[in-house]
Amino acid sequence: MEDTLMTVKQYEAARLEYDAYRTDLEELSLGPRDAGTRGRLESAQATFQAHRDKYEKLRGDVAIKLKFLEENKIKVMHKQLLLFHNAVSAYFAGNQKQLEQTLQQFNIKLRPPGAEKPSWLEEQ
């Protein structure tokens, strides 16, 4: 997750640089053509192309990482739904031991009835 956020930040920075160099290239290409401008135009095209390649590479990286996150989300949801199904089945079957095992996988501790924690208003 953190790696994806870092890649998105790099992508945003690359997008800004790409847009800036694209604008510079457009301004130079619309201006008058003389010997000095031709050299600057060629160097602007080279830097624009380098930043465009970097931008497109990061764009592909972000798309791949988002796809991985989506696949991971689906796997986690599937696992959680399976655990929930097992817990509900154990509850309605009256199987306390299986219910407790399933709830341990959820990282939930059962509290006996009447031993409820007071609300945060009651604690103050």
* pTM, two decimal places: 0.61
- Assess whether pLDDT exceeds 70 at residue 114: no
The Cα–Cα gap between 24 and 40 comes to 10
Structural domains for the chain: 1-106 (1.20.1270.60)
Find the distance separating the first CA and the last CA of the chain, reported in whole Å: 37
54-86 residue pLDDT tens: 999 999 999 999 999 999 999 989 988 998 898
DSSP conformation letters of 68-113: HHHHHHHHHHHHHHHHHHHHHHHHHHT-HHHHHHHHHHHT-----T
6-62 residue pLDDT tens: 999 999 999 999 999 999 989 888 877 787 788 888 898 999 999 999 999 999 999
For residue 44, the tally of other CB atoms under 10 A from its CB is 19
